[in-house]
């Protein structure tokens, strides 16, 4: 912790008080979990699982929207950014997708410079099953067909 000199004494007292309530058993269990390699094995397992989901989502998107979209940022994370050429994700389009059961976020809603990201949406997939990914892309295609 970095504090200005005038707060050091008070900071030490507060830290001491907070440390009294640190759950030692939980820390010991977590330390052993990490030391025995369980965390690393879990992370490897999850990376494989998420890669399969990411690959399936990308395949479904390419099948449904051949030549209409480009996947960005596919190498990491639990979300993809998808750019649809010639399509803008207005509030009306976003509402239409929600009506069809597609819950995505627009990149535009996170953009500092408004108007620069209207063709892009964010698709999360980490919490979805393969079947839900496939159904989600079908619903996305349906929503964009009627827009």
User: Quick one: tokens of 36?
Assistant: 């025995």
89-94, Cβ contacts within 8 angstroms, sequence gap of 24 or more = 89/118, 89/119, 89/120, 89/121, 90/118, 92/147, 93/143, 93/144, 93/147
| Helices 38-64, 24-35: crossing angle, 10 deg rounding | 70
Residue-level pLDDT at 63: 97
- Structural domain boundaries of the chain? 48-145
Distance CA 138, CA 120 (A): 18
What are the tens digits of pLDDT across the range 72-127? 988 878 999 999 998 999 999 999 999 999 999 999 999 999 999 999 999 999 99
- Confidence band of 49 (pLDDT split at 50, 70, 90): very high
Distance CA 141, CA 139 (A): 5
Residue 1: pLDDT over 90: no
Query: Under a CB-based contact definition with an 8 Å cutoff, are residues 147 and 73 in contact?
Result: no
Residue-level pLDDT at 147: 57
Q: Distance of alpha carbon 48 from its chain centroid, rounded?
A: 16
- Confidence band of 141 (pLDDT split at 50, 70, 90): very high
Give 48-145's CATH code, choosing from 3.30.1360.120, 3.20.20.120, 3.30.60.50, 3.90.1150.10.
Answer: 3.90.1150.10
Q: For the chain, how many residues are written?
A: 147
Per-residue pLDDT, averaged over 43-62, amounts to 97
- Confidence band of 51 (pLDDT split at 50, 70, 90): very high
Residue-level pLDDT at 145: 87
User: Quick one: tokens of 147?
Assistant: 């827009």
What are the tens digits of pLDDT across the range 15-38? 888 877 768 898 899 999 999 999
Alpha-carbon Rg for the chain in angstroms: 22
């Amino acid at each position: 912790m970095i504090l200005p000199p005038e707060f050091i004494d008070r900071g030490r007292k507060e830290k001491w008080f907070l440390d009294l309530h640190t759950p030692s058993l939980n820390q010991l269990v977590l330390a052993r979990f990490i030391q025995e390699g369980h965390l690393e094995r879990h992370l490897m397992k999850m990376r494989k699982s998420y890669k399969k989901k990411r690959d399936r989502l990308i395949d479904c998107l390419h099948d449904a929207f051949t030549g209409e979209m480009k996947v960005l940022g596919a190498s990491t994370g639990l979300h993809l950014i998808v750019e649809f050429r010639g399509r803008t994700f207005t509030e009306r389009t976003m509402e239409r997708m929600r009506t069809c059961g597609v819950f995505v976020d627009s990149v535009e809603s996170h953009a500092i410079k408004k108007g620069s990201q209207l063709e892009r949406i964010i698709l999360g997939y980490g919490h979805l099953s393969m079947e839900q990914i496939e159904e989600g892309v079908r619903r996305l295609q349906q929503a964009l067909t009627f827009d």
